[in-house]
């Protein structure tokens, strides 16, 4: 039952964060990039959560930052999933040299530490939101490939797929009737894990100053901007970081529930 | 009598949180005696075997009854005392020796672990102890055999090494838990004979567990029949085999067959003609120059041990694995090596049924989806026409129509295999290729599937290529038999002729190795026969 | 060396070294390619404000930029193999001179963390597996779930907030010079190392626990139980040696990740390591520096992963020795 509770809480947290991200323009008391308070105003004095070093309203900036983090994470993860799964299915069904080439390429991609790879690409191509998202999508697609390739391979070797082959079924039948339905549970779980690792990854890059560029800031960027204020003895600079942790914790909670649920076989009864 | 009693289990009940594994089971073993336990999967045989040394899988516990081993009541003992009992009084021989040996240690170190724990032994002493036993169990090069790691020796040798390990502590009781199930018949014979010899020379008692009545009847002095955690029947071996009392035991005995052959109803017309086929992958040639013929309306059994190439040959006939040379003809048309190159009708007329129905059914499709697909694909049947045919097919495989809306997971193994048969029938084929389709099923379920197939041959005018490692089954069911060894067909003819006047030495040894219920069958083997 | 003469180990080593070299080759080429496709090349970048068509042309010739791309790549590669990674654009010093002290600092950080976290987390993971489902297992499981969800800079700043700001025990930043005294070093290193330990422990624990549980459910453990082997001996003699191979591999892979994790941690503490150097170089678009750091990081990462697999293979007889005989 505690599993159910975790699920409910996780969903509630995610829904709240999503609402905050979508409704940021409505909810934010001030424009995020305008200096409306005195620098380093304490919470309560200048806005609910105080002001940053330039006198901008912290609450408004956090709402908008959540938006950036959400959008970037979601797009990058979806792209990564699509790239990885397509490659895995192509490799699994075609076998032969196509499989080998894709497999080698992914091996190489995975043998290089992701953050280093991202730093190099961003240094060369320059930092922009599009580059950031594309880089993340390509880097994380290797994970989806690694998870789905064996499934695609196993499934393609499954006897029930062989029965289809003996009958003379076409590719779209395999894909939509035999292979994809059986991949959904593990893909969903991987997508969840991918969301939290993408959120952590993008936040780390922004924290390093090579993610979303000022004056806009995502949650990681906000930590970078305000870290020095920690020395004043306030924890408010870390609120954005706690938001990331909360997001990941909730997503992982949902993944745990999913994994538990789909380990049972489906039945009509 | 009680002075000789080694094990006695009385009114034992073992439960999990959700169900009862053993219910009111009482057995006993005396010195010098082998007690056979027989039953199908889920009967509680292994639970009973392990409970005799007070071991229970996690989540199971005994809730009633008593277990007495070597005069000590095990229920009252603590962990340390139980461990001492297991080290000194009893030994266990598991089904899969490959998994039961620790991959990290050399065989001799594992075999001599128990004595080396009790007293300090030099490695020379340990080697001598192991060598002695390896010699007794006729292992090759006994001096050096123990220096190998488990993955470096064959399955049959590993099984014998495990028996050596069981003997090292000179136990009062040895538990054999399906010790030959994973072995081929010819290897099985050697191991069975060794077990029998060991049980008599070491003057201990033994529990022998198997799902194969013929094997148990050769090994045991008394037999207990188990089903769903309960004892169905027990008695001295000859009495139980010759005069079974309960319906279940009667069916088990009847399953062994009375040695009569299938009635010939096959015509001489050749339906499938396979000539000089070679099949291989990479540098390996799995099938060499194989020729077989399947007559219309008949059953051709293709028998052989694992690795003989029988499944590869079947797959090349189906077009899954292309033949390199040779030709495959159905009636007058030549079949392309690959199924993708064969015509619509050729694909429809040959249907293939796999060994494991679990893998052959998509877990996310209902039975209606599974059986309905060939109807729409091959015959364009949809709506009421399809529904009508689906009902007929469910009748044909003797399953309720309501099962159409179920998923495979809610069906038993036998029911799943029936669904696979229905899927093949839906195409209205001429030829069914059955690849070991009953080998994963319990004996009585196997019997019912074979009965179903026999009826279908008449009703649907089918011909069947029946791949099996089970010679007894081939004898009862097929009209013709082909024997494969090392990728070659070594024998091909009428089933009666193959079994009564086998031509090749291999077929002879294979037929002799099939366990029989007959008294003294195993003892009749001379040392050089196997 | 007859030990491995016939063994699968040799072919494994050959294959893996080859594929590792391909990876490093690939990343260096990718970086090189990317660099040469930049709108302004190194000559423009070097000259900055002083760039006139004539000076650029002269410098291009001097730098060999007028040569075809493959020639330049192999030229660069040849130099790199001799430790010559070119000149830093922001600093005008040879890259290698700036790099080496920073690399040493990063290695000190990563290896100190590894020395603490590996024995600790492997031990706890082991205990959790042995006491599966009991209080210790659930407690450590929940703690690791929380740490796995935290960005590493959050862990770092929380430690700064508690130990530096509130308690004043350690400096909030770790800008040490290599000439600093040992106590200064230790006090500067404590918080970054602790952060890395907390970041890595959850992974190591989880993986170790899973590895041991996998072994404990094997048939040969049941076999040992039927033989009457006491539980402690089963764990130490039967389960652990078999779990050794995955655990060794977990440890090496953790080291690989620790060396990469320093990138973020060094930024939190302003620690003068190679990670910080690389991040700053990215900000200034100091391409030769980024390139050198990237290739070096990747090489260390790939080598440690290779060592992980090799060690795991060597402690496992099933992989170390060929099948033979029947």
Segment C160-186, tens digit of pLDDT: 999 988 888 888 777 777 677 788 888
Q: Do C264 and A204 touch (CB under 8 A)?
A: yes
- pLDDT, residue B266, reads 57
- Residue B296 near residue B266, CB atoms below 8 Å: yes
d(CA C99, CA C109): 15
- pLDDT, residue A261, reads 74
Check CB contact of B112 with chain C, cutoff 8 Å: no
Between strands B173-177 and B333-335, the pairing is unpaired
Give B335-367 pLDDT, tens digit per residue: 999 998 999 999 999 999 999 888 899 888 999
Residues of C in contact with B117 (CB under 8 A): 229, 233
- Taking residues C101-110, report their average pLDDT: 91
- Taking residues A61-86, report their average pLDDT: 92
Least confident of A258-262, B310-314, C264-268: A258-262
- pLDDT, residue A266, reads 40
Distance (Å) from the alpha carbon of A175 to chain C's nearest alpha carbon: 32
Among chain B residues, the shortest Cα distance to A157 is held by B359
- pLDDT, residue C43, reads 57
Residue B267 pLDDT class (50, 70, 90 cuts): low
Averaged pLDDT of chain C: 81
Residue among C116, C189, C199 at smallest CA distance from C155: C199
Q: Is the pLDDT of residue B303 over 90?
A: yes
Please enumerate in sequence order all residues whose Cβ is within 8 A of that of B477, keeping only pairs 6 or more positions apart, or say none.
B262, B299, B301, B450, B453, B454, B466
Compute how many other C-beta atoms are within 10 angstroms of the C-beta atom of residue C57. Answer: 13
- pLDDT, residue B530, reads 41
- Taking residues B488-511, report their average pLDDT: 92
Q: Do A235 and C161 touch (CB under 8 A)?
A: yes
- pLDDT, residue B93, reads 93
DSSP state string for C212-257: HHHHHTSHHHHHHHHTT--HHHIIIIIIHHHHHHHHHHHHHHHHHH
- pLDDT, residue C306, reads 83
- pLDDT, residue B345, reads 92
- Taking residues B149-176, report their average pLDDT: 90
- pLDDT, residue B98, reads 84
Q: Under the phi-then-psi rule, with left for phi > 0, alpha for psi from -120 to 50, and beta for the rest, what region is B486?
A: left
- pLDDT, residue B450, reads 92
Q: Do A266 and B360 touch (CB under 8 A)?
A: no
Give B75-129 pLDDT, tens digit per residue: 989 889 999 999 999 999 988 888 899 988 999 999 999 999 888 889 899 999 9
Q: To the nearest whole percent, how much of chain B has pLDDT over 90?
A: 58
- pLDDT, residue B264, reads 67
Q: Is the pLDDT of residue B528 over 70?
A: no
Give B197-214 pLDDT, tens digit per residue: 888 888 899 999 998 899
- pLDDT, residue B219, reads 92
Residue B393 pLDDT class (50, 70, 90 cuts): very high
- Taking residues A174-195, report their average pLDDT: 83
Compute CA A29 distance to the chain's CA centroid, rounded to the nearest angstrom: 28
- Taking residues C192-212, report their average pLDDT: 91
Residue C3 pLDDT class (50, 70, 90 cuts): very low
Averaged pLDDT of chain B: 89
Q: Is the pLDDT of residue A89 over 70?
A: yes
Contact residues, A window 155-184, toward B, CB-based 8 Å cutoff = 158-160, 162-163, 165-169, 177-178, 181-182
d(CA C190, CA C156): 11
d(CA C326, CA B99): 17
d(CA A133, CA A211): 9
- Taking residues B163-189, report their average pLDDT: 89
- pLDDT, residue C50, reads 63
Check CB contact of A96 with chain B, cutoff 8 Å: no
Q: Is the pLDDT of residue C39 over 60?
A: no
Q: Do B318 and A166 touch (CB under 8 A)?
A: yes
Check CB contact of A103 with chain C, cutoff 8 Å: no
- Taking residues B282-303, report their average pLDDT: 90
- Residue B468 near residue B303, CB atoms below 8 Å: yes
- pLDDT, residue B466, reads 95
With contact defined as 3+ CB pairs under 8 Å, the chains touching C are A, B
Residue C65 pLDDT class (50, 70, 90 cuts): low
Residues of C in contact with B154 (CB under 8 A): 325-326
- pLDDT, residue B419, reads 95
Give A101-133 pLDDT, tens digit per residue: 888 888 888 878 888 888 888 877 777 888 889
Contact residues, A window 181-240, toward C, CB-based 8 Å cutoff = 196, 200, 203-204, 207-210, 220, 223, 227, 230-231, 233, 235, 237-238
- pLDDT, residue B297, reads 87
For residue B392, the number of C-alpha atoms closer than 13 Å in the C-beta half-sphere is: 14
Could you tell me how many helices (H) and strands (E) chain C has, helices first? Answer: 14, 0
Nearest to B99 among C220, C225, C227 (CB): C220
Q: Is the pLDDT of residue B250 over 60?
A: yes
Whether residue B201 has a cis bond before it, omega within 30° of 0: no
- Taking residues A79-94, report their average pLDDT: 88
- pLDDT, residue C35, reads 63
Q: Do A167 and B364 touch (CB under 8 A)?
A: no
Q: Do A160 and B360 touch (CB under 8 A)?
A: yes
Please enumerate in sequence order all residues whose Cβ is within 8 A of that of C93, keeping only pairs 6 or more positions apart, or say none.
C87
Least confident of B222-226, B259-263, C241-245: B259-263
d(CA B15, CA A12): 41
Distance (Å) from the alpha carbon of A156 to chain B's nearest alpha carbon: 11
CA angle (A109, A110, A112) in 5-degree steps? 75
d(CA A57, CA A45): 11
Q: Is the pLDDT of residue B28 over 90?
A: yes
- pLDDT, residue B334, reads 93
Q: Do C302 and A210 touch (CB under 8 A)?
A: no
Please enumerate in sequence order all residues whose Cβ is within 8 A of that of A88, keeping only pairs 6 or more positions apart, or say none.
A144, A145, A147, A148, A149, A151, A152
Report which of residues B267 and A17 the model is more confident about: A17
- pLDDT, residue C59, reads 66
d(CA A12, CA C306): 43
With contact defined as 3+ CB pairs under 8 Å, the chains touching B are A, C
Q: Is the pLDDT of residue B136 over 60?
A: yes
Compute how many other C-beta atoms are within 10 angstroms of the C-beta atom of residue B512. Answer: 17
Residue A2 pLDDT class (50, 70, 90 cuts): low
Least confident of A70-79, B476-485, C128-137, C306-315: C306-315
Q: Strand order in B299-303's β-sheet?
A: B350-353, B431-435, B463-468, B299-303, B480-485, B488-494
Least confident of B36-45, B430-439, C281-290: C281-290
Structure tokens at B63: 């809730």
Q: Is the pLDDT of residue B179 over 80?
A: yes
Q: Do C325 and B87 touch (CB under 8 A)?
A: no
Nearest to C302 among A111, A121, A237 (CB): A111
Q: Do C220 and B100 touch (CB under 8 A)?
A: yes
Least confident of A109-118, B264-273, B459-468, C62-71: C62-71
């Amino acid at each position: 039952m505690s599993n159910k509770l975790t699920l409910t809480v996780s969903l509630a947290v995610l829904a709240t964060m999503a609402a905050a991200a979508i409704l940021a323009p409505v909810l934010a008391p001030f424009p995020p990039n305008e200096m409306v308070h005195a620098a380093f105003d304490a919470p309560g004095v200048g806005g609910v959560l105080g002001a940053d070093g330039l006198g901008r309203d912290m609450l408004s900036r956090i709402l908008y930052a959540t938006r950036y983090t959400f959008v970037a994470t979601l797009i990058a993860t979806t792209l990564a999933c699509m790239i990885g799964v397509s490659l895995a299915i192509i490799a699994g069904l075609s076998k032969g040299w196509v499989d080998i080439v894709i497999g080698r390429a992914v091996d190489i991609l995975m043998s290089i530490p992701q953050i280093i790879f991202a730093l190099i690409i961003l240094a060369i191509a320059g930092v922009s939101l599009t580059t950031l998202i594309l880089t993340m999508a390509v880097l994380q697609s290797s994970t989806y490939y690694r998870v789905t390739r064996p499934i695609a391979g196993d499934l393609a070797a499954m006897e029930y797929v062989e029965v289809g082959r003996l009958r003379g079924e076409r590719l779209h039948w395999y894909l939509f009737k035999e292979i994809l339905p059986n991949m959904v549970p593990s893909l969903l779980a991987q997508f969840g894990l991918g969301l939290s690792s993408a959120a952590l990854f993008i936040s780390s890059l922004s924290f390093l100053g090579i993610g979303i560029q000022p004056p806009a800031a995502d949650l990681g960027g906000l930590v970078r901007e305000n870290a020095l204020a920690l020395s004043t003895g306030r924890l408010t600079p870390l609120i954005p970081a706690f938001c990331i942790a909360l997001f990941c914790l909730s997503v992982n909670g949902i993944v745990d529930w999913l994994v538990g649920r789909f380990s049972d076989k489906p039945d009509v009864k | 009598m009680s002075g000789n009693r080694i094990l006695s289990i009385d009114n034992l009940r073992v439960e999990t949180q959700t169900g009862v594994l053993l219910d009111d089971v009482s057995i006993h073993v005396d010195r010098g005696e082998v007690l056979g336990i027989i039953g199908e999967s889920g009967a509680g045989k292994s639970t009973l075997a392990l409970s005799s040394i007070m071991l229970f899988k996690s989540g199971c516990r005994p809730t009633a009854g008593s277990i007495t081993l070597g005069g000590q009541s095990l229920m009252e003992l603590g962990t340390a005392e139980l461990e001492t009992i297991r080290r000194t009084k009893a030994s266990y021989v598991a089904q899969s020796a490959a998994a039961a040996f620790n991959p990290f240690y050399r065989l001799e170190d594992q075999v001599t672990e128990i004595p080396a724990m009790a007293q300090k032994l030099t490695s020379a002493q340990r080697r001598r102890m192991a060598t002695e036993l390896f010699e007794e169990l006729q292992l090759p090069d006994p001096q050096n055999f123990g220096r190998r790691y488990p993955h470096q020796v064959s399955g049959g040798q590993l099984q014998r090494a495990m028996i050596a390990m069981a003997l090292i502590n000179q136990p009062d009781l040895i538990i054999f838990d399906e010790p030959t199930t994973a072995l081929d018949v010819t290897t099985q014979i050697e191991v069975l004979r060794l077990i029998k010899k060991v049980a008599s020379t070491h003057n201990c008692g033994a529990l022998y567990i198997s799902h194969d009545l013929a094997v148990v009847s050769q090994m045991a002095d008394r037999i207990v029949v188990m089903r769903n955690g309960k004892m169905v029947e027990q008695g001295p071996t000859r009495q139980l085999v010759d005069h079974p009392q309960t319906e279940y035991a009667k069916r088990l005995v009847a399953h062994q067959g009375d040695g009569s052959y299938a009635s010939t109803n096959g015509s001489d017309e050749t339906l499938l003609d396979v000539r000089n086929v070679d099949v291989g992958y990479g540098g390996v040639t799995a099938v060499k120059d194989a020729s077989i013929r399947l007559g219309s309306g008949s059953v051709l059994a293709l028998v052989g041990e694992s690795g003989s190439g029988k499944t590869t040959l079947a797959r090349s006939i189906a077009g899954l694995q292309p033949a390199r040379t040779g030709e495959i003809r159905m009636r007058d048309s030549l079949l392309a090596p690959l199924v993708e190159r064969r015509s619509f009708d050729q694909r429809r007329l040959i249907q293939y049924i796999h060994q494991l129905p679990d893998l052959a059914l998509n877990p996310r499709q209902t039975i209606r989806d599974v059986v309905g697909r060939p109807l729409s694909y091959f015959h364009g049947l949809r709506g009421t026409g399809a529904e009508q045919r689906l009902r007929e097919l469910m009748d044909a495989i003797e399953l309720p129509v309501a099962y159409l809306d179920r998923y495979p997971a809610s069906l038993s193994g036998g029911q799943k295999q029936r669904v696979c048969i229905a899927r093949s029938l839906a195409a209205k084929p001429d030829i069914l290729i059955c690849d070991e389709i009953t080998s994963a099923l319990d004996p009585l379920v196997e019997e019912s599937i074979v009965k179903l197939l026999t009826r279908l041959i008449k009703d649907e005018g089918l011909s069947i290529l029946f791949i099996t490692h089970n010679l007894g089954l081939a004898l009862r069911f097929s009209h013709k038999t082909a024997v494969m060894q090392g990728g070659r067909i070594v024998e091909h003819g009428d089933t009666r002729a193959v079994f009564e006047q086998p031509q090749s030495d291999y077929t002879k040894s294979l037929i002799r190795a099939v366990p029989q219920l007959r008294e003294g069958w195993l003892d009749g083997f001379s040392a050089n026969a196997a | 060396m007859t030990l491995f003469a016939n063994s699968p180990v040799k072919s494994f080593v050959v294959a893996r070294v080859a594929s590792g070299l391909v990876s490093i080759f690939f990343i260096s080429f990718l970086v090189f390619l990317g660099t040469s496709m930049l709108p302004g090349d190194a000559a423009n970048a070097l000259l900055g404000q002083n760039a006139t068509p004539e000076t650029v042309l002269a410098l291009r010739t001097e730098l060999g930029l007028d040569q075809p791309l493959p020639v330049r790549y192999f030229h660069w590669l040849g130099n790199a193999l001799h430790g010559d990674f070119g000149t830093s654009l922001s600093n005008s010093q040879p890259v290698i001179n700036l790099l080496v002290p920073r690399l040493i600092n990063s290695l000190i950080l990563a290896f100190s963390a590894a020395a603490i976290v590996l024995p600790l987390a492997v031990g706890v993971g082991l205990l959790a597996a042995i006491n599966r489902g009991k209080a210790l297992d659930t407690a450590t499981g929940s703690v690791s779930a929380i740490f796995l969800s935290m960005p590493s800079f959050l862990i770092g700043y929380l430690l700064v907030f508690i130990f530096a700001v509130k308690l004043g025990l350690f400096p909030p930043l770790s800008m040490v010079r290599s000439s600093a005294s040992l106590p200064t070093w230790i006090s500067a290193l404590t918080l970054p190392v602790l952060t890395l330990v907390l970041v890595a422990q959850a992974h190591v624990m989880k993986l170790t626990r899973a590895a041991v549980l996998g072994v404990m459910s094997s048939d040969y453990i049941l076999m040992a139980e039927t033989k009457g082997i006491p539980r402690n001996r089963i764990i130490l003699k039967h389960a652990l040696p078999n779990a050794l191979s995955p655990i060794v591999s977990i440890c090496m892979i953790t080291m690989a990740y620790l060396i990469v994790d320093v990138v973020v941690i060094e930024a939190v503490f302003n620690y003068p390591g190679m990670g910080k150097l690389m991040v700053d170089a990215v900000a200034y678009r100091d391409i030769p520096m980024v390139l050198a750091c990237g290739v070096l990081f990747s090489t260390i990462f790939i080598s440690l992963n290779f060592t992980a697999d090799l060690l795991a293979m060597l402690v496992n007889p099933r992989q170390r020795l060929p099948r033979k005989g029947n």
